[in-house]
Structure 1
Amino acid sequence: EHGLDRHWRNARVHTLHDPVRWKFHAIGNYYLNDTNPPLRGTI
């Protein structure tokens, strides 16, 4: 009725797409578990 569906979809996208967080995760995973980070451009 008030068009809140679009608002919540936008909020979900912004909370799931945090490239800085994923970069820290990849770097930490590399140092702790010796796992190669993903290919360039995928984060």
Structure 2
Amino acid sequence: HWRNARTHTLHDPARWKYHLIGNQLLNGIAPPRHAWN
């Protein structure tokens, strides 16, 4: 189901980690202390 696929892409910890690191390097925005904040 399409919602299941979307949920899996949103909950991919490795992809989220790359997003946070890239956002810090490119924009100077520090990642939150906890991913759930």
TM-score range, shorter-chain basis? Answer: 0.5 to 0.7
Q: Moved runs in structure 1, 4+ residues, more than 2 A?
A: 7-13
Q: Distance in 1 between matches of 2:16 and 2:6?
A: 16
Alignment root-mean-square deviation, CA = 1.7
How many pairs does the alignment contain? 36
Distance change in 2, residues 1:38/1:8 (3 Å): same
Write the letter of the residue equivalent to 1:30: Q
Structure 2 unaligned segments of length 5 or more: list them: none
Indicate the structure (1 or 2) with the bigger Cα radius of gyration: 1
Q: Distance in 1 between matches of 2:5 and 2:12?
A: 12
Q: Which of 13, 17, 20 matches 1:19?
A: 13
In the superposition, the TM-score normalised over structure 2's length comes to 0.64
Structure 1 unaligned segments of length 5 or more: list them: 1-6
